[in-house]
Amino acid sequence: MAVKNNKTFSDKTIGQIFTPSYIAEFMVKNVIRVLKDISNTYNEPLKLDELKVLEPASGEGIFLKILLENNFQDITAYEIDESLRMYLELTYPEVNFKFLDFLSSNSKEGYDIIIGNPPYLGQNYNSSIFQELVQKYDICKKYFVGNMDLFYYFIHLGIEKLKPGGLLSFITTNYWITKSRKTGIKYLKPHISKECFLIEYIDLSKISVFKDAKGQHNCIFTLQKKSEHEKQNNVDKKIEVIQIRPRNIQGNENLDEKIFTHILNRESSSNLLRYRSAMTNKDLSKDNGWNLKYPLEVKVVVDKIEKYCRFDGKSTYLTDFFVIRNGLILIKDEVFILRENEDLKIIDTEMFIKINETFVKLTDEEKTKLKKIFKSKVIKPFSYDKSDFLGFLIYFDKNEFINQNLTTRNELLERHYPNLTAYLNQYKRELVNILRNAKENVKDIYFPRRGSLITQYDIENKRKLIALEPYYDKGSKIFFSYITNSNAFGYTRDSYYATSDTYFLWLREGMDDIDYLFILAYLNSKIVKFLFKAKNITIKRSKTKLEEEIPIPNILLFQSPYQLELIDLIRYCTSNLTQNIMSMDETKLDKLKELNPNTYSQIRNVRNFKRIIDICLLNLFNLDEEDIDLLMEKYY
């Protein structure tokens, strides 16, 4: 495994961390196990010595040692590090070595097995290295995309070199599995889906495999090249999943090796979860993340939830109701966000802004353009911390001046907001330079760069720009952090402006009658917490999985008096939580006592509104809470 350092790729000196011997031994023996299973299926003898094997990044040769020990004889190995030549040739004279960059090799060569630990190097911080590769090698030119990793090329070229029915087994980081088209796998997943079956996925993210490496989120996966017959007939195959849990006993390093022995021998262990994924190869999207860690018994509960999330027979998701967009992106936060007692003084109801080291009083009209602004850290389920605001944002809505030319626009701004524009003009040169470097309009120095408008399409598919100031000020707003692995959705109808580390759910055109309180309760519920785990949803700047995989319930499917009473109680508790009201009106439970004594007995002594909401929603969806708890404990 190659790791990032400060030297260029052309120096051929990318640092290396070599594969532990027990991992290499496991991978080789695991491939043999798969080969035996295939041979037994077709009742054919397995002759390892006749198979062509490729190791694309041999390092010190640990895979080669174990391949030879297991009777593989036709082995080719690539190694880019010339300093290893003498050692490798003396130690493994049986191996056909090529001291070349694997990416320079002929894609038409055919192999039965490709196995190893390809180099890891992210494109984002090594763009010059990737540009060099694109210029030198056809495979890199063909499959280059931004935000990729170097090992993607090794998978691409490995697939091209495999014979039909051949196996590729690599250990890599696991991030690519859940990535979407917009985050670097534009060509990788379509290539895999078209040419190969993913037959096994081993999740190593809970253990440390490489002691000296950062980012211990690894996996071992096995691909099998499709035959033309399998491609033409759309043959499907199941995916075996193995999750390795952290060791329960500390201080015995041999336990890691024992875990892998258990996998090979198909033995049970408290450190292992083995199951067939509810996803099969036909379910693997070419554009989105693969939720491989999806047991069938988890899918049963998910299907039960989604049964109540259908409109006109079609499943509906968050993206069908909301446009999700970042908060405000400013030209420069330090200029546009005024800090009290630094750039701004507040005395009683008056505000004074600092211009040329002097504090100048703002007019009443100018004060309306100062908005409290928040970062995502203030968000909590159902609400937010109102006291922890970042400062006061200078917010001019460009949409107000949409029909004005530049001269008229600036005259209007300076006439109505003389002190605010004078303050910003102190930084004019700096703001213009930032916009120029970003290739944006240098005349827009008074406005946010992003987040003040969104594009919507009406029922006739006509494009429409929506100004967000009225919604930031008084509209219903659901929001969440752009980096999170939990379902904490805040809400308010008060003025709430936020920086770009916050996502807002803006209602789509034609959805004006949505039940905000019910949707908010659902999004913050134990049900959606379970869906986050079941669908492996984390928000790391990309919101795709959230948009496309959180189903939204159809409230019209709940029509019995009992269900309507549950919904009314959910709305009541949610409303109280958004207003920070903690006292319960006992009469709210009277009807429920008559309609369903069992649910009433679950709730009557509960004084936590969030807990009451969970109980009501679980009953509404006809879910057994104990079943969900057991699944969460077992798998997550």
Strands (E), 476-538: 477-481, 483-484, 490-492, 497-498, 502-507
Please answer whether residues 617 and 609 qualify as being in contact, where contact means their C-beta atoms are separated by less than 8 angstroms. Answer: no
Round to whole Å and give the CA distance between 68 and 21. Answer: 14
Cα–Cα separations (whole angstroms), residue 192 to 112, 198, 280: 17, 8, 14
| Residue indicated by tokens 């009742």 | 43
3-class secondary structure, 484: strand
What does pLDDT average to in each consecutive run of 10 residues of the chain (636 residues)? 37 57 95 93 87 96 96 96 94 96 92 96 90 95 94 97 97 90 88 97 88 74 97 96 75 68 85 93 92 95 97 94 96 97 95 96 96 97 96 92 77 92 96 96 92 83 87 95 94 97 93 91 98 91 87 96 97 96 89 93 92 97 97 91
Long-range contacts of 540-544 (CB under 8 A, 24+ apart): 540/483, 541/482, 541/483, 542/179, 542/180, 542/182, 542/183, 543/324, 543/482, 543/503, 544/180, 544/182, 544/288, 544/289
Round to whole Å and give the CA distance between 544 and 539. Answer: 9
Written as six digits, the tokens of 526 are 């134990």
3-class secondary structure, 504: strand
Query: Sheet of 477-481: strands edge to edge?
Result: 322-326, 502-507, 477-481, 490-492
Written as six digits, the tokens of 211 are 């002691």
Phi, psi torsion values for 33, nearest 5 degrees:
-60, -45
CA angle 554, 557, 559 (to 5 degrees): 130
Provide the pLDDT for residue 428: 95
Instruction: Please provide the CATH number assigned to the domain covering 17-294.
Output: 3.40.50.12420
Give the residue ranges of DSSP H helices in 253-295.
Answer: 254-264
Written as six digits, the tokens of 463 are 């494009």
Give the residue from 627, 19, 606, 27 showing the smallest Cα distance to 302: 627
CA angle 67, 72, 74 (to 5 degrees): 115
Provide the pLDDT for residue 15: 38
Q: What is the 3-state secondary structure (H, E, C) of 47-67?
A: CHHHCEEEECCCCCCHHHHHH
Round to whole Å and give the CA distance between 629 and 593. Answer: 26
Strands (E), 4-105: 52-55, 74-78, 96-98
Provide the pLDDT for residue 261: 87
Provide the pLDDT for residue 216: 65
Provide the pLDDT for residue 12: 39
Q: What is the 3-state secondary structure (H, E, C) of 363-430?
A: CHHHHCCEEEEECHHHEECCEECCCCCCEEEECCCHHHHCCCCHHHHHHHHHHHCHHHHHHHHCCHHH
3-class secondary structure, 86: helix
Give every CB contact of residue 518 below 8 A, 6+ residues apart in sequence. Answer: 553, 555, 567, 570, 571, 574
Phi, psi torsion values for 632, nearest 5 degrees:
-65, -45
Please answer whether residues 394 and 343 qualify as being in contact, where contact means their C-beta atoms are separated by less than 8 angstroms. Answer: no
Round to whole Å and give the CA distance between 524 and 489. Answer: 6
Q: C-alpha 610: how far from its chain's center?
A: 27
Round to whole Å and give the CA distance between 594 and 601. Answer: 11
Pairing type for strands 344-347 and 477-481 reads unpaired
Tallying the residues shown for the chain, one arrives at 636
- Give me the sign of the Cα torsion angle 166, 172, 176, 178: positive
- DSSP category for residue 546: H
Range list for CATH 3.40.50.12420 in the chain: 17-294
